[in-house]
A and B are shown apart, each in its own frame.
Chain A
Amino acid sequence: TQLLEQSPQFLSIQEGENLTVYCNSSSVFSSLQWYRQEPGEGPVLLVTVVTGGEVKKLKRLTFQFGDARKDSSLHITAAQPGDTGLYLCAGNAGNMLTFGGGTRLMVKP
């Protein structure tokens, strides 16, 4: 069974601070995706990383895929209250996703 561990589970920060969320596994994934979920809604895809060592930027969000394709990180610069939500990493193995436990982020104004 492939497992993805996310850390931290909870994060409460002030507006303007930076943060990093980690997603680690002992397994190799063909790709890794990051989703953001708001209460009462389904997860929304933020990014897909495919190549080991790949770095993708989405405005203030920077995603990195580890060289061995077993881990990933999400860095948010100058967090804003609108970034509040549940961040989920998901490893793609064949035609199913294995999700990490999620990081619940709260950004206070």
Chain B
Amino acid sequence: KAGVTQTPRYLIKTRGQQVTLSCSPISGHRSVSWYQQTPGQGLQFLFEYFSETQRNKGNFPGRFSGRQFSNSRSEMNVSTLELGDSALYLCASSRDSNWSPYGYTFGSGTRLTVV
């Protein structure tokens, strides 16, 4: 079966611009989570969506937002980009509504560079 698909793979943006990243989960998975990975901070949780509802949010400023569509695909948006937003953004999907003993399946990520 197809894995988690993230687009685009690479993105270069200028400070002050905004960006939208896309994630298509595994078919049948209704939970989509987003993580930011940087060398200094490691993997940090951004937010999680289940059935189009945001159920949990990490400690990130309001410039970071997301949404989920009825087909479970998700997008995240970052407005007014800052240099520190340069990171690998990872999307993960899982089939369960709460905790996932089956683990999460991650996409390959979108590498965002802000210049």
Q: A101-B42, A102-B42 are in contact. Are A92 and B108 (CB under 8 A)?
A: no
Q: A48-B103, A50-B101, A102-B42 are in contact. Are A95 and B56 (CB under 8 A)?
A: yes
Residues of A within 8 A of B59 (CB): 1
- Residue ID in chain A nearest B44 by CB atoms: A99
Interface residues of B in 88-115 (CB under 8 A from A): 90, 92, 97-109, 111
A23 → chain B closest CB, angstroms: 13
A interface residues, tally (CB under 8 Å) = 26
| Residue B72 lies at the interface, judged by CB distance under 8 Å to chain A | no
A48 → chain B closest CB, angstroms: 5
Residues of A within 8 A of B99 (CB): 30-31, 92-95
Ordered by A's residue number, 29 sampled pairs between the chains whose C-beta atoms are within 8 Å are A30-B99, A31-B101, A33-B103, A33-B104, A35-B103, A40-B111, A41-B109, A42-B92, A42-B107, A43-B43, A44-B106, A45-B103, A45-B105, A48-B102, A48-B103, A92-B99, A92-B100, A94-B99, A95-B31, A95-B33, A95-B48, A95-B56, A95-B98, A95-B99, A95-B100, A96-B33, A97-B35, A99-B43, A102-B43
